[in-house]
């Protein structure tokens, strides 16, 4: 059975291929609207459902996976930087601190939907302005929540993590694969 990934992320596309050889990429097109009253840590899970639901309407017979990842520093969500100045501000705020990365995942097939969140703590070392500016010049931070990619040069800022590394990349592949096997079907994985 084919899996439809409701994401344009090249990182998610690479990781979903660890689970299945039969994958269709169909990014959701809806705006990310957050309803009032939702608990902050549930936002990624809510957005994953919105994405998966939209795409499942186009592919009602397929398994559709939606995912959304956010970086949480205290009571603030750090999304993707708007520009280089915003990236600098984000990375400066993460310097020497611990933050959480939460990925919300929704898997839909027909009328059956399963949603969950995966949390990972990330400990940043103290960063100086010059290394932040040098990193921003690579353009790597510009399309990543929190302004860094742990799978790229952003890994140099990470002292340690507690939890799933691939969750920080943006796709908790182990929990997704386990959920698929338990709830949907026996995978013909590589």
Contact assessment for residue 179 and residue 116, using Cβ atoms and an 8 Å cutoff: yes
Residues above pLDDT 70, as percent of the chain: 96
In 3-state terms, what secondary structure has residue 165? helix
Q: Is the pTM higher than 0.85?
A: yes
Residue-averaged pLDDT of the chain: 93
How many residues in total does the chain contain? 190
Give the pLDDT band of residue 183 (cuts 50, 70, 90). Answer: confident
User: Alpha-carbon distance 157 to 96, whole Å?
Assistant: 9
Residue 62's pLDDT is: 95
Domains along the sequence of the chain with CATH: 3-183 (3.90.950.10)
Q: Which of 22, 68, 83, 129 is catalytic?
A: 68
Report DSSP letters for 9-61, one per residue. -HHHHHHHHHH-S-EEE----S-----TT--GGGHHHHHHHHHHHHHHHH-TT
C-alpha to C-alpha distance for 123 and 144, rounded to whole angstroms = 17
Per-residue pLDDT at 147 exceeds 50: yes
The predicted pLDDT at position 31 comes to 79
Q: Is 68 a catalytic residue?
A: yes
Does pLDDT of 190 surpass 50?
A: no
């Amino acid at each position: 059975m084919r899996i439809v990934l409701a994401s344009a992320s090249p990182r998610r596309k690479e990781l979903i291929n660890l689970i299945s050889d039969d994958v269709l990429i169909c990014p959701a097109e809806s705006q990310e609207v957050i309803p009032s009253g939702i608990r902050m840590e549930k936002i990624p899970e809510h957005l994953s459902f919105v994405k998966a639901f939209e795409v499942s309407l186009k592919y009602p017979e397929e398994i559709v996976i939606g995912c959304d990842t956010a970086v949480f520093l205290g009571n603030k969500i750090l999304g993707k930087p708007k520009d280089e100045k915003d990236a600098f501000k984000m990375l400066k705020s993460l310097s020497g601190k611990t933050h959480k990365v939460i990925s919300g995942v929704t898997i839909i097939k027909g009328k059956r939907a399963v949603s969950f969140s995966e949390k990972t703590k990330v400990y940043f070392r103290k960063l100086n302005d010059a290394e932040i500016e040098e990193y921003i010049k690579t353009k790597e931070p510009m399309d990543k929540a929190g302004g860094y990619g742990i799978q790229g040069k952003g890994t140099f800022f990470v002292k340690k993590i507690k939890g799933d590394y691939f969750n920080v990349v943006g796709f908790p592949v182990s929990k997704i694969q386990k959920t698929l096997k338990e709830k949907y079907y026996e995978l013909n994985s590589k």
